[in-house]
Amino acid sequence: MQQTIKEILRNPSIGRELTVCGWVRTRRDSGSLSFVEINDGSCLSNLQVIADSGLENFADEIKKLSTGSSVEVCGTLVASPAKGQEVELQAGKVTVLGYADPATYPLQKKRHSFEFLRTITHLRPRTNALGAVSRLRSALGSGIHEFFADHGFYQVHTPIITTSDCEGAGEMFTVTALDTGQLGGPDPFANDFFGRRAGLTVSGQLQAEVYAMALGRVYTFGPTFRAENSNTSRHLAEFWMVEPEMAFCDLACNMDVAESLIQTVISKILDSCPDDLNLFDRFVAKGLVNKLETTCAQPFVRLTYTEAIDILQEAQGKGGREFEVPVSWGMDMQAEHERFLCEEVARRPVIVTNYPWAIKPFYMRLNEGEKTVAAMDILVPGIGEL
């Protein structure tokens, strides 16, 4: 396969002949030269192509290239005199694969709003921001699979269509193979594909536990669904979720694995996707890279629920801190409490353990004393509960 721009820039060998395909980001003319920035989506960076007027299709074709056009360029990689790029491609031949009419092609060399991009979902992955999101999401996925493989976990594919619910984690979508005309009546699903009402999974935990009790360490990583019509930044109808399950593991080991997963995966993207992360740091979420580096630089703080409540009550009392919901032992901590703990007290991720049994699902292991259960949540600055 052809080298991608990412591969070329990672190991640039000056003087080498190569062929690059991509989409034109910009083109500008200067004297007898045309400078064509092309991007192939393999990385944020473009490769600058230098086309000179001696090329046979210079006037007829190359000078008609505009943003969004696709080209194949054969040329020689040379050191670039320009700032901000180590190399450029001196074109020997430029083949136009497709033009993009500048009068109608909606992406131009400027920042488009996310709202506008949402109206052209078939083109928005070509923007810097959405391209970076896509590459990061893929790198995070790879990192998760690698982490678990390195730690002796097997991936299990738990059912998406299921007749089990899970601890009331959320409203379920119903799945049916019936036609509209067959859907009336009190129990249409008795004649349906599965002979009863089936739905989309809200969690693979039940099945993952079965496999953990046989394979030892397993994880799921697949789509999960919620039918709540809730339009907040923390709710999605469909999302991909990771659920690890381990046999022969206690709460301390569980915390170690969770912390190690988060730090390992973040370290990996800091290492493999610096340009994409810097783009977000500059334009979308200032301080992002520093926050990610801090997350990896030191161990997470570990507090019991009781210790966390003590800290919050002290802040509320002596500290004079006002919370919208007053703090008392037994309460389900709100986002304001969680963020106070990790953003203002610890200034890094906090793992809270041993919650009162009454505010956690029925299946949590009861601790000695029978007031708390061996559960944990991870609180992260800027987000709250992960």
In angstroms, rounded to a whole number, what is the distance separating the alpha carbons of residues 128 and 294? 26
Count CB atoms within 10 A of the CB of residue 292: 17
Q: Which is nearer to a copy of itself, 79 or 178 (CB)?
A: 178
In angstroms, rounded to a whole number, what is the distance separating the alpha carbons of residues 62 and 94? 7
- The closest alpha carbon to 124, from 111, 137, 136, belongs to 111
Q: Which is nearer to a copy of itself, 220 or 295 (CB)?
A: 220
Shortest separation between residue 23's beta carbon and a copy of itself, angstroms = 8
Q: Distance of alpha carbon 280 from its chain centroid, rounded? A: 13
Q: Which is nearer to a copy of itself, 188 or 361 (CB)?
A: 188
Shortest separation between residue 177's beta carbon and a copy of itself, angstroms = 4
Shortest separation between residue 224's beta carbon and a copy of itself, angstroms = 10
Q: Helix, strand, or coil here: 382? A: coil
Shortest separation between residue 242's beta carbon and a copy of itself, angstroms = 13
Q: Which is nearer to a copy of itself, 161 or 284 (CB)?
A: 161
In angstroms, rounded to a whole number, what is the distance separating the alpha carbons of residues 138 and 133? 9
Q: Which is nearer to a copy of itself, 236 or 289 (CB)?
A: 236
In angstroms, rounded to a whole number, what is the distance separating the alpha carbons of residues 254 and 245? 9
Rounded alpha-carbon distances, angstroms, from residue 18 to 2, 8, 78, 223, 247: 9, 9, 11, 40, 52
Q: Which is nearer to a copy of itself, 117 or 341 (CB)?
A: 117
Residue type, 266: I
Contacts of the segment 134-139: beta carbons below 8 A, 24+ positions apart: 135/43, 135/44, 135/273, 135/276, 136/269, 136/273, 136/276, 136/277, 139/268, 139/269, 139/272, 139/273
Shortest separation between residue 365's beta carbon and a copy of itself, angstroms = 13
Question: What angle is formed at CA 347 by the lines to CA 150 and CA 148, rounded to 5 degrees?
Answer: 10
List, as one string, the DSSP characters of 70-118. Answer: EEEEEEEEEE--STT-SEEEEEEEEEEEE---TTT----SSPPPHHHHT
Shortest separation between residue 38's beta carbon and a copy of itself, angstroms = 11
- Containing 267, the helix (H) or strand (E) segment is helix 251-272
Q: Which is nearer to a copy of itself, 80 or 201 (CB)?
A: 201
Shortest separation between residue 20's beta carbon and a copy of itself, angstroms = 9
Q: Which is nearer to a copy of itself, 102 or 317 (CB)?
A: 102
Shortest separation between residue 175's beta carbon and a copy of itself, angstroms = 5
Q: Which is nearer to a copy of itself, 15 or 185 (CB)?
A: 185
Shortest separation between residue 162's beta carbon and a copy of itself, angstroms = 10
